[in-house]
Structure 1
Amino acid sequence: MNFKYIYVTLFFLFTLFVGAQPPNIVWIVSEDNSKHYIKLFDEHGVDTPNIEKLAQQGIQFNRAFSNAAVCSAARSTLITSSYGPKLATHYHRAEGKITLAKNQDMFPTYLKRAGYYTVNNAKEDYNIKKPAHVWDESSKKATYKNRSPGQPFFYVHNIQTTHEGQLHFSKEIMNSTKTKENPDAVFVQPNHPNTSVFQYSNAYYRDKIVEMDKEVGKVINQLKKDNLLESTIIFYYGDHGGVLPDSKGYLKETGLHVPLVVYIPEKYKNLTAFEPGSKTNAFVSFVDFGATVLNLAEIKIPETMDGNPFLGKNITIKDLENRDETFGFADRFDEKYDMVRSLRKGDMKYIRNFTPFNIDGLMNNYRYKQLVYQEWLDLFKTKKLNAIQSQFFEPKAPEALYDLEKDPFETENLVNNPAYHSQLISLRKKLNTWMEKLPDLSLYPEFYILENAIQNPVNFGSTHKMEIKKYLEIANLSLLEFEKATPILLKYLKSTDDWQRYWALITCSSFGKKAKIFHSEIENIMTSDSQLLNKMRAAEYLGITGIKNTSQELVEILYQSKKPTEALLILNAIVLQRDFYQHYSYPIDNTKLSKRVYNNGLIKERLTYLNNEITN
């Protein structure tokens, strides 16, 4: 018995009965480009006639955001309409894919159940164990043309032309290949050095944006050729920010603020309050996209979704005008660790750096394949950067506040400006409330999440909500004056809870040498703690402050680790200290590493770098 045929037949009988054919929905997704390179959205961008034409007939969203600044974390949010730190899908890329709870699914599944043909061409990149029933097709050859006659479809078309890898060109190519965009006239953002390498990379990348736009046009023209344009809602958007330094992988606007245009044909004008050619400053985020698609298809939105629809019946312009917030998160990117959260409300941007001693410019092998990354670091080492350009290679403040109207590239931290104090307090409180509500699983180390949470992260978070709230409170001690934090920190350094000690140590590192009064307690943790990562955090504190050379201790701690993500975090501390703090030597004997640790690909990236064998 052909159940698919019966299901589709019943679906069509239903649509005939209710007198409405659901819309086809197409996502055209360009990889790795923020709104800053497209003239439609930014004065420094290039002309994109196909996207511009789509906007003339559709809706231009000037405030659209990815919630993460890297592919797998961003796409995991898109496919679930749920925040990554809640699902443990926020590390790039997952060392262990999570399992969704029985009451939660990837959103195309709900479309498929309602009779849609679901197609993805071709990138997935989810940090989730993908159920078999999500896509009817998902491959480089996947097409909506294989659906049953008249069956509505949801189709995702990915364009890789603007991907970061396109900027992995050599000096020889740079010297021999001319760009269409003039490097001498191109805009270089103020936190970057205005050198010939940065100019060329900016021009080269804008050429790729123009190529990408032509591919967008091909998809639209094919829909028109297939007589589908007037029955299809089209989204064009970038999958997160751009690839020039301090964008992809970072919670700057250049990493999160994406272009978004949605075309809704006349046939379905009842699904939007906007007229064709409209522009809106309503905030929409990736967490909202899945819920929006379901709403357009008039499918009930599951309660497990965090997102809210911004198109569909009963969504008014007034409702959208009240939306002025977006949250962001950044954690491990390949072999480089950090923990950063952001909240933008209107034109104010708040960033919380939970490990501010981690340097943004810390080696990440994939990023440093770009000539601009290599040159930027070289210029820092030779002291040829100004104060703004040097920030990328220096410790951060625990929190930052930016006025984006005055400072769109987030170069002046306003945390200590009395004129912005009320905004600081309000945004800080709102971000903390969001993290507690999730709750944010990153308050546990990644290895612990892999061992205890990935089979049902939502249930784990719910069960441990109070513990997570306490860890957040300890982390936030770094926002106090040190004298006020001192007695509380001492209490948690002596706690019987492993992760209370862990966050107390991180907070000490955030305070730096101010916390040297805890020297004896911290050294005792380094030598005798039951938790290996607490030994590492203690050694890290003593090392980055220069109180004690703990290079040998860190190497010995590494040898004791049997868990790849635990060892990777230890190696992060080693690279951080070697490159940006006391510049100690770290001779690592690979034969002393656990076999499981040594065989991990990201571990090998770090070991190769430490042996000064950067892969290009």
Structure 2
Amino acid sequence: MRRGLLSLVFLLGLSCSVFAADRPNFVWIMSEDNSVHFLKLFDPTGATAPNIEALAAEGVTFANAFSNAPVCSVARTTLITSCYAPRIGTLFHRKSFMVPMPEGVKMFPAYLHNAGYYTTNNSKEDYNAIKSKDVWDESSRKASWRNRKEGQPFFHVQTFTTTHESSLHFPESDVSNKPTKNDPDTVFVPPHHPKTETFKYTYARYHDRIQDLDKQVGKLVDDLKQDGLLDSTFIFYFGDHGGVLPRGKGYAYDTGLHVPLVIRLPEKFRDQMPEKPGSQSSSFVSFVDFGPTVLNLAGVKGSDKVDGHAFMGIGHQQLMESDESFGYADRFDEKYDMVRTLRKGKYRYVRNLQPFNFDGLMNNYRYKMAAYREWRRLYDEQKLNEVQSLFFETRPAEMLFDVEADPYETVNLAGDVAHAEILKEMRGRLDGYLSGMPDLGFFPESYLAEKAADNPVVFGKEHQREIDQLLEIANLELLPYIEAEAQLEKALASNDRWHRYWGLIACTAHGKAALPLKKKIDAIAASDSENLNRVRAAEFLAMAAGIDPVPVLKETLANAKTATEANLILNTVVLLQDSKPGYTFQIKPKDVKHVTGNRGELDRRLEYLSGKK
């Protein structure tokens, strides 16, 4: 964990800070939904992008930059707060509730604003936390550095939506009727995707979008040059999370988290920095680090209660380098999951805490893409190979990938004896993150909305011991069943409802092996005092014992109090409907008319279950 390092960084930074009149400007250029795999600067299979490459020639290319979450609202909230989302309660996309900023922490542009910077955002925010009034001088589609006072330093964020997921929401007929600039027959299709005409076309079309984006980057840089600001402005170019092709955005693999990052060094400050134009950095940097880095470059003090640290500064500072990055994935729109991951060096460790929630579980927005729809159809028709089929099948509880040898993470090394020591180390290091925060994701979203929304950080501290216990129960998934049985039985008999909850999830992860506990789980399904435990029990009984879950799930849906709770129940409904052997549910909107709260994500599930999607 890296909290607490920032105060040291700033003490070092302040000793070399520049005078106010000589403070640098900053421009962030964010492109939506693209990972390193789509830019030739980072990956030989990517698209050429001469304007981004020109920035790299005059700056630093970061080979190991990572979003901490693979979807926009969670990633952007992490970026703006410099805090890990599972610690501060901002881990769900789209938000069902807002949370306050942690005590003693502001969104980092506020520190710049209060130090005299003109702060602007054009224009996407998409935060899951409440912002203070001093964050932006202007945040709109018209926001620009050009409205500042004469000589005032500025921080400007520009988001280009050209590469957003929606740019690939085209009809299947486009594959044969709407040519792309890049040749579909020569574009690279990675091994986890079928090399069909649809996938080749989708990749080519996205390469087109990357090149359209590059022209926008060039135009913005030209604007800075025309305004006489290029030689005093740090330009950060990066993706707001990983790539949008299937199993990219929304998934905690390198394709969802590994982002391009280039920082152009302004001529005015190059002699004062150890980094040189055209250089590359192999140090690992994450979104929690970006805010502290800007503040350090500006010579502005921020909070010491954040999770990130500065990785660049003016002057020859001794800044900490890292070789690891922590990531998380929870609810995306209406689809629930809980994945935690650690990239360290060439290895990525992935912990699927609910491994039976297969990756390809229905998410309405994802499946607007023709490639997604085709991929699932080909799986249903048994026309995929083993690697391509994994997306639609139960995952292991833990996975380990050598990303250098296997960049698309197709070979799980977790069961390889030769990697036993690295697996043990990665597992322990990840557990350290989850316990150290502590990770609020161990509680259901509906419970957090009710009990933790006023102050998630304090709630987490007050429940630190319980979260550690829940982590211990969840980790029973990693043991052979015979070694875990006694502790699973104890969890199912606990007076703590969330001990029972995670005991049930761990039993479902073990599958048929956990059938010796069926009698206890039968009792929970019939009458547990916690509605969601009845759901988890029915989930186990359906998947491991073939027992019809429909009566229990319809009853728990009728008992749900909020739309958030009902949506979590419907996640299980869709899972049991769409996985083998498949159960038939007849869920209708009238079944949840009684629930309170925002129904947006719930209605997406209802659309799908009613056959409208």
For residue 272 of structure 1, report the CA deviation from its aligned partner.
Answer: 3.0
Residues 34, 595 of structure 1: CA spacing in aligned structure 2 closer, same or farther, 3 A cutoff?
A: same
Work out the number of aligned pairs and report it.
598
Q: How far apart, CA to CA, are the structure 2 residues paired with 1:74 and 1:184?
A: 34
Partner of 1:570: 569
Q: How far apart, CA to CA, are the structure 2 residues paired with 1:499 and 1:275?
A: 52
For residue 20 of structure 1, report the CA deviation from its aligned partner.
Answer: 4.8
For residue 266 of structure 1, report the CA deviation from its aligned partner.
Answer: 2.4
The one-letter amino acid of 1:345's match is K
Q: How far apart, CA to CA, are the structure 1 residues paired with 2:138 and 2:411?
A: 47
For residue 555 of structure 1, report the CA deviation from its aligned partner.
Answer: 1.4
Residues 16, 40 of structure 1: CA spacing in aligned structure 2 closer, same or farther, 3 A cutoff?
A: closer
Q: How far apart, CA to CA, are the structure 2 residues paired with 1:39 and 1:319?
A: 29
Task: Report the 3-state secondary structure (helix = DSSP H, G, I; strand = E; otherwise coil) of the residue aligned with 1:170.
Answer: coil
Task: Report the 3-state secondary structure (helix = DSSP H, G, I; strand = E; otherwise coil) of the residue aligned with 2:285.
Answer: strand
Residues 601, 408 of structure 1: CA spacing in aligned structure 2 closer, same or farther, 3 A cutoff?
A: same
1:429-474, Cα deviation, whole Å (9 max, x unpaired): 0000011111100010001111111211111111111111110000
Partner of 2:579: 580
Alignment partner of 1:325 is 2:324? yes
1:182-230, Cα deviation, whole Å (9 max, x unpaired): 0011100100000000000000000000000000011100000000001
Q: How far apart, CA to CA, are the structure 1 residues paired with 2:100 and 2:34?
A: 30
Q: How far apart, CA to CA, are the structure 2 residues paired with 1:323 and 1:286?
A: 13
The one-letter amino acid of 1:96's match is F
Partner of 1:511: 510
Partner of 1:347: 346
RMSD: 1.6
Moved more, 549-558 or 73-82: 549-558
Q: How far apart, CA to CA, are the structure 2 residues paired with 1:389 and 1:301?
A: 46
Partner of 2:172: 171
Task: Report the 3-state secondary structure (helix = DSSP H, G, I; strand = E; otherwise coil) of the residue aligned with 1:140.
Answer: coil
Partner of 1:266: 267
For residue 598 of structure 1, report the CA deviation from its aligned partner.
Answer: 9.1
Partner of 2:116: 115
For residue 602 of structure 1, report the CA deviation from its aligned partner.
Answer: 1.2
1:368-394, Cα deviation, whole Å (9 max, x unpaired): 000000000000000000000000000
Q: How far apart, CA to CA, are the structure 2 residues paired with 1:17 and 1:94?
A: 40
Partner of 1:497: 496
Alignment partner of 1:282 is 2:280? no
Task: Report the 3-state secondary structure (helix = DSSP H, G, I; strand = E; otherwise coil) of the residue aligned with 2:141.
Answer: coil
Runs of 4+ in 1 over 6 A off after TM superposition: none
Residues 302, 17 of structure 1: CA spacing in aligned structure 2 closer, same or farther, 3 A cutoff?
A: closer
Alignment partner of 1:206 is 2:207? yes
Conserved? CA contact 1:482–1:511, under 8 Å: yes
Alignment of 1:36-75 (within 5 A): 36-75=37-76
Alignment of 1:473-552 (within 5 A): 473-552=472-551
Conserved? CA contact 1:552–1:586, under 8 Å: no
The one-letter amino acid of 1:191's match is H
The one-letter amino acid of 2:91's match is H
Q: How far apart, CA to CA, are the structure 1 residues paired with 2:240 and 2:17?
A: 36
Conserved? CA contact 1:597–1:603, under 8 Å: no
Conserved? CA contact 2:60–2:278, under 8 Å: yes
For residue 591 of structure 1, report the CA deviation from its aligned partner.
Answer: 2.2
Conserved? CA contact 1:598–1:604, under 8 Å: no
Partner of 1:612: 611
The TM-score with structure 1 as length reference comes to 0.95
The one-letter amino acid of 2:322's match is R
Alignment partner of 1:383 is 2:377? no
Q: How far apart, CA to CA, are the structure 1 residues paired with 2:18 and 2:194?
A: 64
The one-letter amino acid of 1:346's match is G
Partner of 1:25: 26
Q: How far apart, CA to CA, are the structure 1 residues paired with 2:284 and 2:463?
A: 31
Alignment partner of 1:457 is 2:459? no
Conserved? CA contact 1:100–1:455, under 8 Å: no
Partner of 2:3: none
Q: How far apart, CA to CA, are the structure 2 residues paired with 1:271 and 1:125?
A: 35
Task: Report the 3-state secondary structure (helix = DSSP H, G, I; strand = E; otherwise coil) of the residue aligned with 2:595.
Answer: helix
Percent identity among equivalent residues? Answer: 50
Q: How far apart, CA to CA, are the structure 2 residues paired with 1:40 and 1:410?
A: 21
Residues 314, 344 of structure 1: CA spacing in aligned structure 2 closer, same or farther, 3 A cutoff?
A: farther
Conserved? CA contact 1:271–1:311, under 8 Å: no
Residues 113, 270 of structure 1: CA spacing in aligned structure 2 closer, same or farther, 3 A cutoff?
A: farther
Task: Report the 3-state secondary structure (helix = DSSP H, G, I; strand = E; otherwise coil) of the residue aligned with 1:165.
Answer: helix
The one-letter amino acid of 2:204's match is A
Conserved? CA contact 2:17–2:314, under 8 Å: no
The TM-score with structure 2 as length reference comes to 0.95
Residues 328, 17 of structure 1: CA spacing in aligned structure 2 closer, same or farther, 3 A cutoff?
A: closer
1:483-517, Cα deviation, whole Å (9 max, x unpaired): 11001110110000010000000000000010001
Structure 2's unaligned 5+ residue stretches are 1-15
Q: How far apart, CA to CA, are the structure 1 residues paired with 2:451 and 2:17?
A: 49
Task: Report the 3-state secondary structure (helix = DSSP H, G, I; strand = E; otherwise coil) of the residue aligned with 1:596.
Answer: coil
For residue 528 of structure 1, report the CA deviation from its aligned partner.
Answer: 1.1
Residues 522, 49 of structure 1: CA spacing in aligned structure 2 closer, same or farther, 3 A cutoff?
A: same
Partner of 1:12: none
Alignment partner of 1:146 is 2:147? yes
Partner of 1:601: 600
The one-letter amino acid of 1:500's match is H
Structure 1's unaligned 5+ residue stretches are 1-14
Moved more, 376-385 or 125-134: 125-134
For residue 315 of structure 1, report the CA deviation from its aligned partner.
Answer: 6.0
Conserved? CA contact 1:271–1:312, under 8 Å: no
Conserved? CA contact 2:66–2:287, under 8 Å: yes
